[in-house]
Structure 1
Amino acid sequence: MIRIARVRRILLFATTSVLLAAASWTFGTSTSLIEQDAELGIISTDEATIYRALAIVRPAALPAKYLVATTVPGKCATDEVREAMKVILSDPDLYKSYKEVLSRPVMQEVCESGQGHFWLHYDITGSNAVPLIDDNHNEIPDFVERGAIIADSCWRYEVQNLGHLPPPSDGTLGGGVDKYDIYFMRVGVYGYTQAELPGPNAWNDYSSHIVVHCDFADFPANQEPEGNALGALKVTIAHEFYHAIQFAYDVGEEIK
């Protein structure tokens, strides 16, 4: 059960333009070492698949030899995480070893988006802390509020305007009934979407949650007039929410 320090409804209905960008994983030094050991037979193919995901989402869980910092963030790790989960779920021993590592994080705070579709989970202290600027003094960081506006904008465009299926409900996972969960964390990529549970339909649909970087500090520059961090947040939420919709149709579909 997620520990919730505060739940506030964000009553913001501004329109945010959303940029959709293609994403691909940029291999860092850790991944290169993992690939090298897999080719030499030092680790198995399944181990390499799991380690590639850990290098992105939980590097502290990697064997020490693969803990090499990289200054080049990857873009989208959805495919790496999905493939690792397939391996873990196929083997009871692997599941026992790694289920906690790739489970949902427990964050310090959570707020609801203005249109009520999303819960955004974030920390205000520690390594996963978001920028704490709060110009409107409502005790919710502006960075998180903007994330909520962006997410609602994505829902309006993808689900209401284009008529795509919404992501299947995850029940009460994340603490909110029928809320789609977005987590702000310090990961080695812009973000990723993690499939979790089979959906209610006859086809291969799955519920999911999204993880986005907690501050995008030192990420590559972009063309966003309001700053690189906000530009990265816009593109990341838009891109990852599209994966969430993709999983509403077929979790096994090729990730692009």
Structure 2
Amino acid sequence: MISNVKYYILFLIFIPLTSFSKGFRYDTLANDLKCLTFHQNSQKNLIQKKVDFNDSTSRPDNQQVFISEQGNFWIHYDISGLHAVNLYDANLNGIPDYIDSVAYYAEYVYQKEVLEMGFLSPLGDSLLGGSDAYDIYIFDIGDSEIEPDPNEPEGWGGTYGFTVSETEIKPSRKYQRYTSFMVLDNNYSETDSVRVPGGKHYIAYKTFGLEGAKITLAHEFQHAIQFRYGLDYTYSSGFAEMCSVMFENLIFPESEDYLQYVRSLFKFPELYNFSMPMPENGYRYGIFTTMLQQKYGIDVIKKMWELTAQGITTYKCIDSALHLEGSSLDEEWIDFLHWIYYSGERTIPGKYFIDASKFPTFSFFLKLNYSEPSVNFSSNLDPYQIQFDEVVFPNKFPHSNDTLVLLATNLNLNQIVNGIYSKSSFSIIIKTIYDGAYIRLFPDSEIPYYYGLLKGSEGINVIRIEKPGIETYKKENAYPNPLHIALDENLFVPAPGNAGLGSKITFQLLDENAVSVYNSISDVDIHNSNRIIKLPVSELKSARIKTGVYIYKVDSDDETIFGKIAIINP
């Protein structure tokens, strides 16, 4: 039984759930639900019920304890029962290798975050864990309940770890400071699963074994540090998670666990708002603090927590720390839109995010094709909400289409500092008739287009990215040739000469007996200024295309072309 001690929990409960205004939708791109984050402990918390708490100390109970080499950490663990770790001991020192490794990486994280970067140390807890070292408890917390209660998502599984605040540090401040301890999973197993109502299972973790323990140590130790500065519980849960997610990859650059949140944000940006201080938003905007760290170094993040310790509210802390760098939250947010736009397929090597090429391509909310006499649309944005739209303009053959990309947001620091969340509207109209208040798009294009923005408030900012069309050319042969199924990503096949961009083309792949082994209908696209049909190699792989020489046939409404392609599929 858990005693009635006031806790604030920082959970990494990675459950695939995205909240909608009408019920819930499971977002399988990222383990999403953060139960009991910054809330008092609950007797109904099924994850905590799996952990044995001592009635007298209100601490978890384990069978064994191991002290790290520098003595800064006590690692509590079990050698038998549900929570037992793997007992494999390669160096025969009497300690399971998993525990040896947790102790080693705990010291490594402490060295990085405290001794090198200069954050406050969370060590020292008045001997509550048996010493003044920082206590880490190891339990099987990743797997789901056999029969999860649909009304108690804490039993659905997926926990990486959690940090529990414990004793208030005196003297009291506006934002209370606490000692803490943390709980990690006992193996980060590939077989641990999230079970959601209805019985469907999802893999609990994106990172397994010791690698899972490493990133969780970096993440949770940052939470322990945050408790020492003090937390603005009304507004800081999202920012706290932004920082902790950032530290996973900062301390262990090879880690890619955070990419699950990037994938989710880039696909569903309208669901996750930076200005709403919720943990699931914080996980996704960890890349915002990553951007700040890349631009200004870790000291700007540390300054934000130092300002929090002075009793300044979260979003004001972010803005004030950036002012010391000659910038502001609004300026950085506008820059952030460029950073996330130029990722995935739009990555510019050596610029923006280090891992930008590993990101997906950010989704457009609206994709419109211009038609006379005009195109227009309206939208409403919460403070710091993001909306990317695309308008494509027809061009004269053989030029590719002109494309306008609009990156829209609503800058309103005063609202989010004061906890006010009201939408601002804007309308965009584009036409070919000149209006003195409008802006000419694509000045070198043969067709004149004019752009107008009507804003409901001064906070609305819309960045225009104009991508003029280019002259395109007919390609004579397919490439690469030969095509290596195991190495190449796409096959590019020439489009019929008069087929315009976006035209529907039928493609067939014929074997030596003129039997069709693969067919598809695709749009004419551009690659290296060539008008081509792009065929993902993954589709050819799924069709089990064997090694050999094939004939391809490409049909448009008024032309058919043939060619040869060699395919190697080991």
Tell me if TM exceeds 0.5. Answer: yes
- Does residue 118 (structure 1) correspond to residue 73 (structure 2)? The answer is yes
Letter aligned with residue 82 of structure 2: S
Amino acid at match of 1:220: Y
RMSD: 3.5
In the aligned structure 2, how far is the partner of 1:73 from the partner of 1:129?
28
SS in structure 2 at match of 1:174: coil
Give the structure-2-normalised TM-score.
0.29
* Structure 2 match to 1:128: 83
Letter in 2 for 1:120: I
Alpha-carbon distance, 1:248 to partner: 0.4
CA distance, structure 2, for counterparts of residue 114 and residue 75 of structure 1: 35
The aligned counterpart of 2:205 is 220
Deviation at 1:25, TM superposition (A): 3.9
Find the partner of 1:249 among 229, 247, 257. Answer: 229
Tell me, in whole angstroms, the C-alpha distance in 2 between the residues paired with 1:131 and 1:220: 18
Given residue 104 of structure 1, which amino acid in structure 2 is its aligned partner? R
Match of 2:170? Answer: 200
**Deviation (angstroms), 1:145:** 0.6
State yes or no: 1:236 paired with 2:216: yes
What amino acid sits opposite 2:40 in the alignment? A
Residue of structure 2 aligned with 1:165, choices 112, 120, 123:
120
- By how many angstroms is 1:116 displaced? 1.0
- Give the letter aligned to residue 84 of structure 1: Q
Give every structure 1 segment of 4 or more consecutive aligned residues whose post-TM-superposition deviation is greater than 4 Å. 72-77
Question: Is 1:116–1:179's contact at 8 Å kept on the other side of the alignment?
Answer: yes
Amino acid at match of 2:107: D
Deviation at residue 125 of structure 1 after TM alignment: 0.2
Instruction: Please report how far the alpha carbon of residue 135 of structure 1 lies from its aligned counterpart in structure 2 after TM superposition.
Output: 0.5
- Supply the distance in 1 between the matched residues of 2:74 and 2:111 (Cα, whole angstroms): 16
Q: Distance in 2 between matches of 1:175 and 1:241?
A: 19
Structure-2 separation of matches of 1:76 and 1:214:
21
Q: Is the 8 A contact 1:132 1:142 kept in 2?
A: yes
1:83 matched to which residue of 2? 39
Q: 1:180 maps to which residue?
A: 134
**Residue in structure 2 matched with residue 145 of structure 1 by the alignment:** 100
Distance 1:76 1:206, change over 3 A: farther
Contiguous gaps of at least 5 residues in structure 2: 1-10, 24-28, 44-52, 142-156, 191-203, 242-570
- Whether the aligned pair in 1 keeps the contact of 2:12 and 2:160 (CA below 8 Å) is no
2-side partners of 1:210 and 1:172: how far apart?
15
Which amino acid is 2:179 matched to?
S
Partners in 1 of 2:160 and 2:78 — Cα distance? 17
Query: In structure 2, what is the Cα distance between the partners aligned to 1:230 and 1:168?
Result: 23
> Which structure shows the higher helix fraction?
1
Q: Find the aligned partners of 2:88 and 2:30 in 1 and give their Cα distance.
A: 24
| Matches of 1:209 and 1:139, distance apart in 2 | 25
Pairwise mapping of residues 67-82 of structure 1 onto structure 2 (< 5 A)?
A: 80=36, 82=38
Distance in 2 (CA, whole Å) between partners of 1:105 and 1:73 is: 29
- Change in Cα spacing, 1:99 to 1:146, as seen in structure 2 (3 Å) is closer
Q: Structure 1, residues 25-50: CA drift from partner, whole Å, max 9, x if none?
A: 44479xx9xxx8xxxxxxxxxxxxxx
Q: What's the CA shift for 1:201? A: 4.4
Distance change >3 Å, CA 186–CA 215, structure 1 → 2 = same
How far off its partner does 1:169 sit? 2.2
Counterpart secondary structure, 1:156: helix
Query: Aligned with 1:83: secondary structure?
Result: coil
Change in 2 beyond 3 A, CA 1:242/1:198: same
Letter paired with 1:210: M
How much does 1:81 deviate? Answer: 5.2
Q: Deviations over 1:218-252 (max 9, x none)?
A: 25354xxxxx3011010011100000000000143
Gaps (5+ residues) in structure 1? Answer: 1-22, 37-71, 89-97, 223-227
- The 1:210–1:248 alpha-carbon spacing in structure 2 relative to 1, beyond 3 Å, is same
Q: Distance in 1 between matches of 2:33 and 2:135?
A: 17
Identity of counterpart residues, as a percentage? 35
Q: Deviations over 1:140-170 (max 9, x none)?
A: 1000010011100111111111111111521
Distance change >3 Å, CA 155–CA 168, structure 1 → 2: closer
Separation (CA, whole Å) in 2 of partners of 1:76 and 1:163: 31
SS in 2 for 1:80: coil
Distance change (3 Å), C-alpha of 1:75 and 1:121: farther
1:104 aligns to 2:76 (yes or no): no
**Is the 1:112–1:119 contact (alpha carbons within 8 Å) kept by the matching residues of 2?**
yes
The number of equivalent residue pairs is: 180
Q: Is contact 2:54-2:61 (8 Å) kept?
A: no
**Distance in 1 between the 2:33 and 2:160 partners?**
6
SS in 2 for 1:233: helix
Output aligned runs, 1:53-72, within 5 Å.
none
SS at match of 1:183: strand
Local SS of the residue matching 2:39:
helix
